[in-house]
Structure 1
Amino acid sequence: MLALGAVVTVGLLVRVDDLVHWRKRPELSFHDGIPSLTTFDGYHYLRYARDQLQGRYTRRDSLRLFPDGAPRSVPPPLLAVTAAAVTRVSGVRLEWVAVVLPALLGVGAAFPLYALGRRLGGRSIGLSAAAFLVLFPYYLRRTSVGRFDTDCGQVIFILWAVLSGWTFHQSRGWKKVASAMGCVINAVAFLLWWDTAAHVVFLVILASIVVPVVTTLDRWKETVPSAVGLVLIIALAFLGIRPDLTPGRLVERVRGDFVYVTKADAGAFPSVGVSVSEQQRLGPMELLREAFGHPLVGAAALLGLAALMWRNLPGFVLLLPILALAVPAFWAKRFAVFLTPLGALGCAFFFVAWAERLGSGSRRPWLAIVPVGLLAVALGFLTNQAVARTYYPVVPGPVCSAMERVGTETPAGAVIWTWWDHAYPLMYWAERATVSDGMDHGGFRSVVSAVPLVSQDYRLAANWMVFSVVRGPQGFRRVLARLGDIKGWSVIKKIMALGPTGARSILEKQRLEPVDEWLRFFFPPQSQRPPLYLYLDQRMIRTSFWWSWFGTWDVAGKHGRHLKAQLLDLVDRQGRAVYFSHGRWADLETGVFRSPTGDENILLSKAYHWAHGRWVERDFGRDGPVLELDTERRWALLAEPMFFGTLFNRLVVLAAADVRHFEPVLLEEPVFQLWRVKGDLPDNRPGS
C-alpha cells in the first residue's frame, strides 16, 4: 500500500503543479483572488453547486436555452452535490473546491485499477497500471486542477462497475449479498454523476453484470438468475430516479449519440460534433500520442492487451464494458479518456509480464532488468511530460471580471446573446440567461446563434436575435413547417433584413395571412421583448473558423463557409513597415504581407489603420485579404473580405455600429464588448 500511496502522491503532485504556474501568471488564472476553471462546462456544474448552497436549485433552469429554459436533474448532479457539500462542511470557497476536486478524484481511479490489475495479473501489474493511468497525458488533462467536469469521476465508476460485477459472480452467501449492494450503490452513484448520459450508464452497468456470466458458463444455473435479478433491481432504481429512461427513449438517445459522435448526416442542419474540439476525429498514430503520450507507449499498451487476451481470455472479456466506451475514441477523441485504463493495464502487462518471463523462465534472469528499465524510462518520460505541460483556465481573470460587470450593467431578466462556449461562464458570473450552451448546441440551434455574427446587415442581425429570444426555436420551425426548410429559411432572412415595411409584400406573396398577425409574429411588440444584449470578445476570433461556418450554412446545399481571420500581435511600426510576432511584417505602401522567410507573400486588398481617433483606409485596388491594425492597442487582424464585413468584425474590431439597432453599453477593448440589441417594432420603429 505504501507503493500505491507513492503512485497517488506523484499523480497528485503533477496535477497540483499547474497551480504554481497559475500563480506566476495571475492575469490568466485569477480575478480578485478567485481561480478560474480550465473547462467551460465546469461553470455549469459550479452554478448548480452554488444554487444548492443558496437554496435556489429548482426543477427548471430559466437561464439556459432562453426562452424555453431547460429541465434540471433531480436529484442534482453528484459532482455539484459533492462540491457544495465540501464547501458547506469545510468553509472553503466553492471555486477553490471546483479547482482542486478534479485532481483528487482523478488520482482516486488508481485504487480500483490497482485492484483490477492485481486480480488479473498480480500486485506488480496492479501497481504499474495505476502508475501509468495517473500519468497518461489525456487522462491527466481531463483530471487536471480546474477541470470541474464529470470526466474526473467517470473512470472511477466504470472501474468499480467492472470490479463489483466480477465480485458479485464470484461470491456466495452473505458476500454475494454485500457485493450486490455494492453494485447497486455504484450504479446509482454513476447515474447521478453522469446525469447527462443516463442511457450510457445503464448500458455500461448492464454489460458489467452480464459479461461475467460468459466467463462462468459452467455455473450458468446460478449466475444467470442472479444476474437477471440484479439487473432488474438496478433498472427499477434507475427508473425511480429517471422515469424518462424508457426502452424507446434509450434507443432514441443512443441514436442521437451516434449521429453526434460519428458526425453523420443530421438533416437540413449540420452535425455540431464536427466543430467541438474534443469531438475531433484523430488518426491512429495521433490517437496513440494523444492518449498515451507517445506512439511507442501506445504500442506497448496494445501489445500488453494482446498478451492479456492470450494469457487470460476470461479476464480480458471482463474489460469489454470499458472497451465499449473506448471504441468511440476512433471517431471522437473525448472518449480517449476510457482508453487510458485499458492502456494502463496493457502497459503493465507488457513490461511486468515480460520481466517475469525473463526472470523465471530464462537462463539469463538478469535480462529482466531490460523491461524493468524500460518501464522506469516510460514512467519517467510521462512524468517529465506531465510536469512540462500547464493547463491554464479557459476564461482569463479579466474576462471573468467583465462577465460580472455584465450582470451589474444589465437589468434582471436580461438575455445575453453570444456564441455557445461563453454561455456557462456568463450564466455563472453574470447570472443572465443565454440562448445556447455546451450541453444543448445542436446544429439548428448553433446555426441560429451564428447567423447574426456573420450577418453583413445590422437590421437583419438585430431582428433575427429579437425574433429568436421571443419566439424561440419553435418560431423558426413554425415557418419551416409552413414553407419547407429551404424556402422557409430564405424567407425568414429576407423578412428580417427588410423590416416590417418591406416584409409585408413577402408575406403577401407567400400567403402568410393575416399579414398583420404575421408581422407581429416576426416583429414582436415591445411588451413581449426581454432586454437583449450581445456579448463579444477577442477569443471569438479564434473560434470564428466554426461559428462562421454555422452562420453561413446553406440549407439547400448543406454546407457552410469557414471565414478566415487571424489575430496578430503587433510588435513595432517603422514608417511604412509594421512588424508582428513570429517575424511577420507588412508593407503599408505596397500592401504586401510577408512571412518570416520572405518566401510567402500575401497581397492585401485593403488596410485599415487606427490613427488619431479614426480608421484610415488604404485601398490597393485588388482582391485579397484585409489587414486591420491598431498601434495603440498593439494588435491587428488579417481577414478575408467576407469576414471584414461581418457584424462581429464591425463591432469588435472597427467598433462601428448602427446605433438604431446596436447601442454600446460596455466597450472594454480588447477584453470584451456589450451591446444593447434593438430590433424593429411592428410599426417599423426601432425597439427601445
Structure 2
Amino acid sequence: MKLEKIKPLIIIIVLFILAFAIRAEAYNIGGVPKDSKQFYKDQSGLPYFSEMDSYYNYRLTMNYLNKGMLGDTKVNGEDWDLHSYYPPGRPVDYPPLIVYVTSFAYRIVNIFGDYPLTVVAYWIGAVIGSLCVIPAYLFTRRISNDYGGIAAAIIIGLTPVYVSHTYAGFFDTDMFNMILPLLFVWLFVESINADTLKRRLTFLVGAIISILLFSMAWVGYIFYVALIGAFIIVYFILRHLMGVERETYKSRIEWLVNQRELSMFLLLIIIGGLLLGLLRGFPALIGSISGLFSGVQLQATAQTTAYPNVYVSVSELQVPSFLEGNPFLPNQVSVLGGVGGLLPFLCGLLGVGALIWRIRSLEAPRVEVKKRGKRAGKKSKFIKYRRIPNIEEKRGEYLSYLSLICVWLLLTGYAVTKGFRFLSLFAIPLGISAGIFTGYFVEYLRDNLKSRTSIAIVAFIAGILLIYPFQVSVIAKILVGIIAILIVLSINNEKFRATSMMILVTLAIVSAPVSGAHALTSSVVPGTDDGMWNSLTWIKNNTSRDTVVMSWWDFGHLFAVAADRPVTFDGGSQNTPRAYWIGKALLTDNESLSLGILTMLSTSGDMAYNTLDNYTHNSSLSVKILTETLGLPRDDAREVMINKYKLTGAQADNVLKYSHPDKKKPFVLILSSDMLAKAAWWSYFGSWDFDKKEGEHYAYYTSLVASKPEVAGNVTRIVTVNDPSGMVGVLIEKMANETNATIVLMGANGTSEKIKPHRLILIEGNQLVKNEIVDENSPFGLLVVGSEDSYMTVIMDKKLEDSMFTKLFLLGGFNQTSFKLLHQEPGVLVWTRA
C-alpha cells in the first residue's frame, strides 16, 4: 500500500533523471574529435555555449547580478544596451524570466560553494527543460493511467525540437516553452474538475501564476489564454450536441452559475488580466493581445523598406516539410521527425479516437426529465435526459479532455505552418494525446489478449519497434523481437506476463524520441572555440573601449561578451538595413567601398541612409547614391551627390557628415572560417537587387580534409573532396614546373565531368605561385593551398574570386591596401583600417 502511494513520486524521479541525463550528455561534446575537445572548452574546462543567443542571455544576467538591471545603463528610465546595434544601442525589451531564474539559481548554489555564472548558465537549461516531464506525466496519468503518463512525459520531455534547445550548454528562453504551458493548462483543467471550491481556487491560482511566469518568458504567452477560451467554446458546443450535462437545473440562471468551465475562465481573465497588467503594464497586455492576431503573419513579415529581409535565412522561421528521410526516425527538418517520428505522431492522432471511444464506453441508461413549471408535454430546451450521475460526470469530464486536445492540436498545428520554431508547441498536445492512446491501448491488450500466441506476437512487434530507431541490422532487430517473446513467455504469472507486455509496448512507442534525443546530444559541437575566444580576448586587452566590432551577425552576442566592445550587427538586429551593407562590404571587389561602408556603420550607424531617404524618399536610390560615393574621398562624393543626383549643397553636407565622418570610430573586422559556409547568405543580401527584390546566392566549397600528394612516375596527383556527398572534388596534377587543377563533378551513374576553373589561385608554402585566368566561361574559381606536403582546396562561385572576404580571409590581404591585419588565431583573422 505504501509503495502504491509513493509510486508516482518514484516514476517522476526516474523520468526526470532520464530527461536530464540525455541532456547532460551534451557536456561531452561528442561531435568534436577526441584530440580536439580542449579547443572547444574555456580555461576552466567547461565547453563553450552551443549557440550565440546564450551569450546574450548570459550578458543580461551578468548585468542584473552586477548592476541590478538588464541593460548597460538607463536612458529615459529604460534599460538600454550599449553593446548591441552600436550606435546608438537599443532598449532591452526582453522577457526577463531567464535572467531572474538564473540569478536566483546562481545565488542559491553559491551558498554551497563557489560556482561561476557560466557554470550555472551552462546547466540550467537542461534542468528546467527536464522538469516538463512532471506535469506531462501527472496530466496524462489522470486521463489514462501510469503507462500513458510515462509515455506522454517521455515523448514531450524528449521531443527532438525541444531537446535541441534545452540540452546542457544551450542557455535560452526555450527552456520554459513546455514546462510553463503544461502547468498552466493542466492546473486550469484541474480547477474545473476539482470537487470543492477551495481546491478549484487553489488550482486556478496555480494556473494564473504559471501564465504570469510565462508572460516573462515569451511574448506569445497570450496564445494559451486564447487556447483555453477556444477550448471552452468547443466544449459547450459538443456538450450541447451530445446532450451531456453534469446535473439538471431549474433555470438558465442556475445553469449559468454552475458552469465551472465558464466561472473558472472568467476568474482567470479577471484576476490574471489584472495581475498581468500590474506586472507587465496594461499597454503591454493590450499589445500582446493584438500581437496574437498579427502572429499569423510571421511568414509575411512586412518589410518597411526596400532592403532584404534577413529572416528568410533563419531556419527556425522556415515552414517545415511534413516528411524528410525515414518517417520512423527523429530529425530536425520535418514535422514527423521533429516530434519524434511516425509512431508518436500516429499515436497522437489515435489518442483523439481513444477519447471518443472512452466517452462512448461510458453510456448508461437514460431517464427522460420534463421541465418543471411548464406546460405538460413540453420538454426542457436545456436538459433532455438525465443519466446516472457519476457516469454523466465522467462523460462530461472526458468530453472536456477531448475538446481540449482537439483544439490544442488544431491551433498549434496551424502555428507550425508559420514556422519550424512552433513545432515544439504542437508537440505538447500531440505527446499528451499519444500518452492517452498508449494508456488505453495497453489496458485493452491486457484485458483482451490472454493466449500465449497473441501475447508473443505483440511482444515480437514491440521488440522490433523498440530497437528500430537505433538503426541496427535486420538480423539484430529480429533477434531483439525474439528475445522480447522469450522474456514475456518465460513469466508464468498471468498478471506479471500482461504487465511485461504493457511495458514492452510502452517502450516501443517512446523508443524513437529517446534514441533521437540521445543521438542529438551525443553529437553536440560548441558554437565557438579557442580561436574565436582568444581573438576576442586579444581585442578586449589591446584595443580602446570605443572600438566597434564588425562581422556577419551570427557571432554578435559572443563578441559583446568576450571582447566587451560594442557591435554593429547581432542576433537582435538581423532584420535591418545593416544586413545589406555588411553583406555588400564582404562581397564587393572595391576595397575603398568596403572600407567606406564599415567606417559609416561603425561611426554613424544608420544615419547616412536614413537621412538620405528623407531627401530621396526612395531607399533604392539612396543605396545607389551611397554605393557610388562611399568609396570616394569626401569632396568627390559631394560633387557626385550634387551634380549627378541633384542634392542641394546643404543636403549633401548633411549626408556626408554621416557617410564620410570627420572623426572616425576605430573598428575591427572579424573574419572566420564559419563564414565560408555562410557565404550563400551574406552574398545573397550583399548582392540584393533593389529593383528585382532579390539577391544571388554565391558559395564556397572547401575540401573536407587535407589531402596528401600521390606520386606516379613524373606526375604528382592530389585529389580533394569538396562536398559531403562525394560528388564534387578537385584533381591537381603537378609535372615539373607546371601545375594544373580541374574541378570534378561526379554523376549519379558513376560518370565524371571535368571543369576548368575560371581562375586558378595556387599558394605553396605561403607564397602565391599562380593567380591567372584559365577559362573565361567557367562559372567557378579555384584556390589551392599547399602546406607541409598537404593540400586544401576551395571551389568558389566566380563572383567571389575578387570579393573582399576572399582577399582578406583566404588570401591573407594580398593585393589590397585598405585594411591591415591586427591579430590571427586558428580560423580567425582580425582586420582594421590601414
Could you say whether these structures have the same fold, taking a TM-score greater than 0.5 normalized by the shorter chain as the test?
Answer: yes
Q: Residues 315-350 of structure 1, C-alpha deviation per residue, up to 9 Å, x if partnerless? A: 133243575345332342222222222332233233
* Residue 352 to residue 101, structure 1, CA distance change in 2 (3 Å): same
Deviation of 1:305 after TM superposition, in Å, equals 4.0
- Counterpart secondary structure, 1:142: coil
Which of the two has higher C-alpha Rg?
2
CA RMSD of aligned residues (A): 2.9
- Contact 1:158-1:322 at 8 Å conserved across structures: no
Q: CA deviation at 1:638?
A: 0.9
Match of 1:281 among 314, 319, 325: 319
1:83 Cα deviation after fit? 2.0
Amino acid in structure 1 at the alignment position of 2:661: P
1:174 and 2:221 are equivalent in the alignment:
no
SS where residue 98 of structure 1 aligns?
Answer: helix
Is 2:135 the counterpart of 1:116? no
Which residue among 664, 684, 688 is the counterpart of 2:821?
Answer: 664
Q: Give yes or no for the alignment of 1:585 onto 2:730.
A: yes
- Structure 2 match to 1:9: 17
d(CA) in 2 for partners of 1:322 and 1:158?
14
Partner SS state of residue 617, structure 1: strand
Give, in angstroms, the shift of residue 47 of structure 1.
1.0
Residue in 2 that maps onto 1:622: 776
CA contact (8 A) 2:548 2:667 kept: yes
Q: Which runs of 5+ in 1 are unaligned?
A: 679-688
Deviation for aligned residue 1:291? 1.3
Q: How does 1:624-643 map to 2 (within 5 A)?
A: 624=778, 625-632=780-787, 634-643=791-800
Quick one: distance in 2 between partners of 1:653 and 1:497? 23
Q: In the alignment, which residue of structure 1 is the partner of 2:156?
A: 133
C-alpha distance 598-502 of structure 1, shift in aligned 2 (>3 A): farther
Alpha-carbon spacing, 1:475–1:202, altered in 2? closer, same or farther (3 Å): farther
After TM superposition, the structure 1 = structure 2 runs for residues 236-385 of structure 1, keeping only pairs within 5 Å, are 236-243=274-281, 245-246=283-284, 249-250=287-288, 253-254=291-292, 257-261=295-299, 268-286=306-324, 287-308=334-355, 311=358, 312-319=398-405, 320-321=407-408, 324-361=411-448, 367=454, 369-370=458-459, 372=502, 373-385=504-516
Measure, in 2, the Cα distance between the counterparts of 1:639 and 1:327. 40
Distance (Å, rounded) in 2 between the aligned partners of 1:313 and 1:631? 71
Task: Indicate conservation of the 8 Å contact 2:97/2:213, yes or no.
Answer: yes
In 2: Cα distance, 1:310 partner to 1:606 partner: 70
* 3-state SS of 2:570 partner: coil
Is 1:205 the counterpart of 2:205 in the alignment? Answer: no
Between Structure 1 and Structure 2, the one with more helix by share is 1
SS at match of 1:230: helix
- Determine if the alignment matches structure 1 residue 190 to structure 2 residue 276: no
Distance 1:531 1:309, change over 3 A: farther
> Residue type matched to 1:571 in 2?
S
Q: Matched residues in 2 for 1:242 and 1:476: separation?
A: 35
Q: Distance in 1 between matches of 2:289 and 2:695?
A: 30
Does 2:735 correspond to 1:602? no
Partners of 1:268 and 1:403 lie apart in 2 by 34
Q: What SS class does the counterpart of residue 101 from structure 1 fall into?
A: helix
Residue 743 of structure 2 aligns to a residue in which SS? Answer: strand
Deviates more, 1:553-562 or 1:12-21: 12-21
Distance 2:284 2:160 in 1: 37
Specify the alignment match of 2:572 in structure 1.
Answer: 439
- 1:27 matched to 2:38: yes
Write the letter of the residue equivalent to 1:35: P
| Partner residue in 1 for 2:832 | 676
Which has the higher mean CA deviation after the structures are superposed, 233-242 or 55-64? 233-242
Q: Distance in 1 between matches of 2:402 and 2:658?
A: 60
- Distance in 2 of aligned mates of 1:318 and 1:675: 57
Shift of 1:102: 1.4
Q: In structure 2, what residue type is equivalent to 1:302?
A: L
- Deviations for 1:285-336, whole angstroms, at most 9, x for unmatched residues? 1324431343344333333344346644421332435753453323422222
Q: Name the CA shift for 1:593/1:53 in 2 (closer, same or farther; >3 Å).
A: same
Are residue 162 (structure 1) and residue 185 (structure 2) matched? yes
Shift of 1:420: 0.9
Give the aligned residue type for 2:782: L
Is the 8 Å Cα contact of residues 67 and 471 (structure 1) preserved in structure 2?
yes
Conserved in 2, the CA contact under 8 Å of 1:28 and 1:396?
A: yes
Change (3 A) 1:156 1:322: farther
Rounded Cα–Cα distance in structure 1 between residues aligned with 2:295 and 2:767: 50
Partner of 1:685: none
User: Any idea what SS the aligned residue of 2:606 has?
Assistant: helix
Bigger CA drift: 425-434 or 17-26? 17-26
In the TM superposition, what is the alpha-carbon distance from 1:374 to its structure 2 partner? 4.1
Comparing 551-560 with 361-370, greater Cα deviation is found at 361-370
Please tell me the residue identity of whatever aligns with 2:443: E
- Aligned in 2, Cα 1:177/1:382: closer, same or farther, shift over 3 Å? closer
2:538 & 2:353 partners in 1: Cα distance?
56
Partner amino acid for 2:57?
Answer: Y
Contact 1:570 1:631 in 2 (8 A): no
- Count residues in correspondence: 671
Matches within 5 A, 1:32-43: 32=43, 33-43=45-55
C-alpha distance in structure 1 between counterparts of 2:608 and 2:524, whole Å: 41
Distance change (3 Å), C-alpha of 1:129 and 1:440: same
CA separation in 2, counterparts of 1:309 and 1:27?
56
- Inter-partner Cα distance in structure 1 for 2:184 and 2:174: 16
* Alignment deviations for residues 558-590 of structure 1 (CA, whole Å, 9 cap, x no partner): 000001211223212345532224764323544
- AA aligned opposite 1:499: P
Deviation at 1:251, TM superposition (A): 6.5
The answer (yes or no) to whether the contact 2:335–2:423 under 8 Å persists in 1 is: no
Equivalent residue letter for 1:599: S
How far the C-alpha of 1:41 sits from its partner, in A, is 0.8
Q: Does 1:554 align with 2:694?
A: no
Alpha-carbon deviations, 1:482-520, whole Å to 9, x = none? 221222221121121333233223221323222562363
Q: How far has the Cα of 1:595 moved from its partner?
A: 4.8
Q: Which runs of 5+ in 2 are unaligned?
A: 1-7, 72-78, 240-244, 246-254, 325-333, 359-397, 463-501, 734-738
Which residue identity lines up with residue 637 of structure 1 in the other structure? V
* Cα distance change, pair 164–275 in 1 and its aligned pair in 2 (3 A): same
1:465-614 equivalent positions in 2, closer than 5 A: 465-483=598-616, 484-508=618-642, 509-515=644-650, 517-518=653-654, 520-527=656-663, 529-568=664-703, 569-574=705-710, 576-581=716-721, 584-588=729-733, 589-595=739-745, 599-614=752-767
CA distance in structure 2 between the partners assigned to 1:652 and 1:86 by the alignment: 42
Q: Deviations over 1:165-193 (max 9, x none)?
A: 22333344332332332222212211222
The 1:56/1:571 distance shift into structure 2, 3 A limit, reads farther
**Structure 2 residue matching 1:179: 3-state secondary structure:** helix
Is 1:65 the counterpart of 2:215? The answer is no
Separation in structure 2 between the aligned mates of residue 241 and residue 462 of structure 1, nearest angstrom: 47
- Amino acid aligned to 1:577: R
Distance 2:213 2:594 in 1: 45
1:18 aligned to 11, 23, 26, which one? Answer: 26
Q: 1:331 to 1:202 in 2, by over 3 A?
A: closer
SS of equivalent residue, structure 2 residue 164: helix
Using the TM superposition, name which of 496-505 and 318-327 deviates more.
318-327
Rounded to whole Å, the distance in 2 between the matches of 1:512 and 1:328 is 48
CA distances 1:492-551 after superposition (whole Å, capped 9, x unpaired):
211213332332232213232225623633444343x33222111010111111111111
* Amino acid paired to 2:350: L
Distance change >3 Å, CA 384–CA 170, structure 1 → 2: closer
Identify if the C-alpha distance between structure 1 residues 87 and 47 changes in structure 2 by more than 3 Å, giving closer, same or farther. Answer: same
Query: Could you tell me whether the CA contact under 8 Å between 1:480 and 1:489 is conserved in 2?
Result: no
